[in-house]
């Protein structure tokens, strides 16, 4: 995603002339003054004009809004969504994600996380904008990321909400799709009475949903036992609750000495893209040696989760992919 603050006039003209599309743009707000403050860059507001020019030129724009309570939520968010809707169809899809805050924020702008009440308010704003777009344009193109629903304590929307999952890699619908794929993968199997114990280590936010997926597997494999361990993020801070920012040292600290069953599963987004290394430079091999347990890295997708639980370990072909789970603004500077 680009903020457009480093684009020159020549860059803008070239993008339009070459019709470079789609463009992934971090928008955050359409209020020029507020955007400058949030990005800590005086060009933050000025560059919004580029967005309008791209829209007028017919370029397809995939937008992202990181919602920071007290900054770009409430009336500001309503205004932003209204402004973006007016740029449709060039504004194709916009994902909204909650700001993530690490403990490394000394000297930075004070921000507060999205709590349950705020998550519900934000979902309400998005739903209102979606309904208006549906009436005006015949489709809805604003999406609240899964995190908002998990924080709100509300069920995830049905699949029709996601319109084919155009913002999947931005954390929109990832868990809904996972649940659907798990059910499909289990339905394709006969089931049996095998006995197996499985441990899944994941982030605190998604842990209850992953536990639900394990329950689905047990519908055909009743003798499989499982434990989903929600890892507390001591490295980046307890406010970080997603699996994509869990480090090897937190896994070692919180899993050591525990009964981990026959196999231990972790999601691949804990690892650096294309590598078997966590964010703190600990490798999968080192983690396995520390825990005395072979680690199965689960690729995104429900079928791979089912396979990781049921199929022989030596038949597993692991694929390392970087998948979005929480916005990169977790180390936010000025909002």
CA distance 66 to 306: 32
Question: Alpha-carbon distance 7 to 250, whole Å?
Answer: 40
The rounded percent of the chain whose pLDDT value lies above 90 is: 84
Determine what percent of the chain falls in helix, strand and coil, rounding each to the nearest 5: 40, 15, 40
pLDDT range class, residue 19, cuts 50, 70, 90 = very high
Measured at the CA of 115, the angle between CA 112 and CA 116, to 5 degrees, comes to 170
The CA dihedral of 321, 163, 127, 94, to the nearest 10 degrees, is 50
In eight-state DSSP terms, residue 109 is P
Residue 127 CB coordination number (10 Å): 15
DSSP-assigned states of every residue in 133-169? HHHHHSS--EEE-HHHHHHHT-PPPPGGGGTT-TTGG
For the chain, give the percent of residues with pLDDT over 70: 93
Q: Is 30 in contact with 49 (CB distance < 8 Å)?
A: no
Assess contact for 206 and 171: CB atoms under 8 A: no
Residues 38 and 334: beta-carbon distance below 8 Å: yes
pLDDT tens digits for range 119-166: 999 999 999 999 999 999 999 999 999 999 999 999 999 999 999 999
pLDDT of 234-289, one tens digit each? 999 998 999 999 999 999 999 999 999 999 999 999 999 889 999 999 999 999 99
Q: How much is the average pLDDT of 18-32?
A: 96
**Quick one: 173 exposed, middle or buried, by C-beta within 10 A (0-12, 13-18, 19+)?**
buried
Strand partners, 93: 62
Least confident of 38-42, 64-68, 284-288, 314-318: 314-318
Give Cα 143 distance to the centre of its chain: 12
**Separation of alpha carbons 14 and 100, rounded Å:** 34
Q: How many residues does the chain have?
A: 335
Question: How many other β-carbons are positioned within 10 Å of the β-carbon of residue 277?
Answer: 17
In the chain, the DSSP E strands lie at: 23-26, 61-67, 91-98, 142-144, 196-203, 224-231, 263-267, 295-298
Average pLDDT, the chain: 91
According to DSSP, the residues that pair with 23 across neighbouring strands are 61
pLDDT in tens, 301-330: 999 999 999 998 765 544 333 333 333 334
Specify whether the CB–CB gap between 48 and 30 falls below 8 A.
Answer: yes
User: Do 41 and 4 meet the contact criterion of CB atoms below 8 Å apart?
Assistant: no
Q: Are 71 and 335 in contact (CB under 8 A)?
A: yes
Q: Quote the crossing angle between the two packed helices 174-187 and 302-310, to the nearest 10°.
A: 50
Residues 141 and 94: beta-carbon distance below 8 Å: yes
């Amino acid at each position: 995603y680009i903020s457009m603050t480093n684009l020159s006039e020549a860059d803008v003209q070239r993008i339009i002339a070459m019709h470079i599309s789609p463009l992934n743009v971090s928008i955050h707000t359409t209020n020029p003054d507020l955007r400058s403050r949030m990005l800590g860059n005086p060009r933050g507001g000025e560059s919004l004009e580029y967005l309008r020019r791209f829209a007028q030129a017919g370029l397809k724009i995939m937008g992202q809004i990181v919602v920071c309570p007290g900054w770009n939520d409430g009336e500001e968010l309503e205004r932003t969504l209204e402004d973006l809707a007016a740029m449709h169809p060039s504004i194709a899809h916009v994902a909204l994600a909650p700001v993530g805050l690490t403990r490394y924020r000394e000297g930075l702008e004070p921000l507060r996380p999205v709590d349950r009440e705020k998550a519900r308010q934000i979902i309400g704003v998005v739903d209102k904008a979606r309904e208006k777009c549906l009436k005006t344009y015949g489709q809805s193109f604003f999406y609240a990321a899964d995190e908002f629903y998990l924080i709100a304590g509300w069920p995830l929307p049905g699949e029709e909400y996601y319109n084919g999952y155009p913002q999947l890699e931005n954390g929109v619908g990832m868990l809904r799709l996972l649940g659907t794929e798990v059910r499909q993968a289990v339905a394709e199997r006969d089931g049996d009475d095998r006995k197996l114990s499985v441990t899944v280590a994941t982030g605190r936010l998604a842990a209850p949903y992953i536990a639900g997926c394990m329950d689905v597997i047990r519908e055909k494999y009743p003798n499989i036992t499982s434990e989903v361990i929600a890892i507390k993020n001591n490295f980046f801070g307890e406010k970080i609750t997603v699996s994509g920012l869990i480090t090897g040292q937190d896994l070692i600290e919180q899993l050591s000495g525990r009964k981990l069953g026959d196999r231990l599963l972790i999601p691949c987004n804990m690892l650096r893209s294309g590598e078997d290394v966590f964010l703190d430079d600990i490798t999968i091999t080192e983690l396995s040696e520390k825990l005395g347990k072979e680690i199965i890295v689960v690729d995104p997708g429900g079928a791979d989760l089912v396979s990781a639980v049921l199929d022989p370990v030596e038949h597993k072909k692991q694929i390392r992919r970087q998948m979005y789970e929480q916005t990169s603004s977790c180390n936010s500077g000025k909002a």
